[in-house]
Each structure stands twice: as structure tokens, then as C-alpha cells.
Amino acid sequence: MATTDRQATTLALAHALSAAERGLAVIPLSRTKLPALRSPHRDDPDPAGPRCHGECGHFGHGVYDASTDPVRIRELFAAAPWATGYGIACGLPPYHLIGVDLDTKSGTDSSTALRELALRHLFTIPETVVVRTPSGGRHLWLTGPPDVVVPNSAGRLAAGIDIRGAGGYLVGPGSRTDHGVYTTAPGTAHLAPAPCPPSLLRLLAPPSRPPQPAPPVPGDHGRGLVQFVLSAHEGQRNTRLFWAACRAYENGIGPALADPLTEAALNTGLTEREARATIASAARMTGHRP
């Protein structure tokens, strides 16, 4: 490894540890801005199966590896000595960070678009941390309430405005990429991320899903499997759904329980596509046709 790369890795680790001291969970990034560690499941025979978010105990799960523990952060960087930057996970306590990415590519004027949104919806962007990107864009750091999950989006608010929310990450200041270095805008490094204005938060939140009547569930065993999925926490949703679907097919109630299990998975935050794929994988695993 070239001396400059070793220096970039050392600096990235130092910046990452400094961010972690502020309560920001971090992961190592490569020069391409992607997570530096490859997935340990990249060669799995069934890519549609349940997704592991780190339950296997290995590194390589992207933002799910993010940590504020300095020992773990050093281990992550030791496993990725080619890392030249770090990512800051969004949506996690204590800040529940929301990143507003104002891009300058393709001739878009994202700053003007944000000002127009602010005028139209009567909000003001507060004084907060601003990170400058090598391409001339800006990342605005905002915080959200713990009970609101802000999804990632690209161009949904306006052209050139991307949002980094739960499951996403921001490239941390001090990171070196193929295009240059991310830096904190003057006068903002000492600031804490400011609360997201309520009017803007309403624009960022996903549309509420109207309550739907639950499909009938066959028998007590079926109800127990559905409740098992409903009680899943983040990081175990796919695993619980796969396990419940396997038990349902093994007990001859798989087809009848497919819709109730899908509905339960949607209530835990999975998409319908993810839920259906996991149930189909369970059907194949137990020798049934989905």
C-alpha cells in the first residue's frame, strides 16, 4: 500500500473515532464511498433468502456494522486497511441523523430548490453541521424524533435533493475519495446537528399506511407464528419471518398463512417484495412450491 493510502487510512480512522466520541456510529469506506468490507454472504446460493444484518457475527453488512465502540471501530478498520474514509449511519440514537444531500451534478440547482420548498411549506433550515463534498455539493445534518423513521430517497423532494435516513449513511468529513476530500464548512464544525423543522419532517416521512383487516389465520398455531413475526425487532425481521414460514409449510398451513405472515412482516417494516421473497424461499427450503 502506498504511503499516501496508509496516511489516508490513519486519518480516516482518527476522524471516525472522533465522530464516535460524539455519539455517531461509523463504518469504514473505500475511495468509491462504498462500505470497505464486502459481504460475507456474497456467494450465498439463494440471494432472495433472508438477509443477514450482522447476526452471523462477521463484518461486511454495510451500515449494520456501524458502531460507536472504539474497539470495534479499530477492528473494522483493521479488517479494511484500504479504507480511506468513513460513513456515519443515519437514523440511530442519540441523534437519529437525517442527511439532506444537495447535489450539483447534471446542472441541478438543489440549493434553490430547497429554498423554494422552504418558502412553499413555511420552514427555515436551522444553523447546523454542513459538510462540503468534493463535487461542490453540501450535506446538511439534521436530527429527527426517535418515533419517526425517515426513509432514504433520491430526488423525491426535488431534483438534486437526496435524503439519507434509516439504513443509509453520510460520508464523514475528513474522508478521502477518488474525487477529493469531504470537509466541514467553516463555522459549522462545532455545531450539533439541529432538529429537522416539523414541516420538512412531514415531507420526509413515508406516507402512512391505512389499516387493513388482517386475513383470517388458521388455528392457534398459525396465530402464534404470526405473533412471532409481529414481535420482531429490527435486525431479526427477516430471520423470524423465514423461521415462521418454514414452520407453517412443515405443518401444512403454509399457503393459508402466506398472506397473514406477509401482513405481519409489513407491520414490522419489511416491504411486500422482501416478505414475499422470504416466504417463497421458506417454501422452497421445505420442499413446497411457493
Instruction: List the chain domain ranges.
Output: 1-204, 223-287
3-state secondary structure of 49: coil
pLDDT digits (tens, 9 = 90+) for 230-243: 887 766 788 889 88
C-alpha cell at 207: 406516507
Asked if 151 and 165 count as a contact pair (C-beta separation under 8 A), the reply is: yes
pLDDT digits (tens, 9 = 90+) for 122-161: 999 999 999 999 999 999 999 999 888 899 998 888 889 9
What span, in angstroms and rounded, lies between the C-alpha atoms of 122 and 120? 6
Report the candidate in 203, 205, 222 with the shortest Cα–Cα distance to residue 214. 222
* Mean pLDDT for the chain overall: 88
pLDDT digits (tens, 9 = 90+) for 108-124: 789 999 999 999 999 99
How much is the CA Rg of the chain, to the nearest whole Å?
A: 21
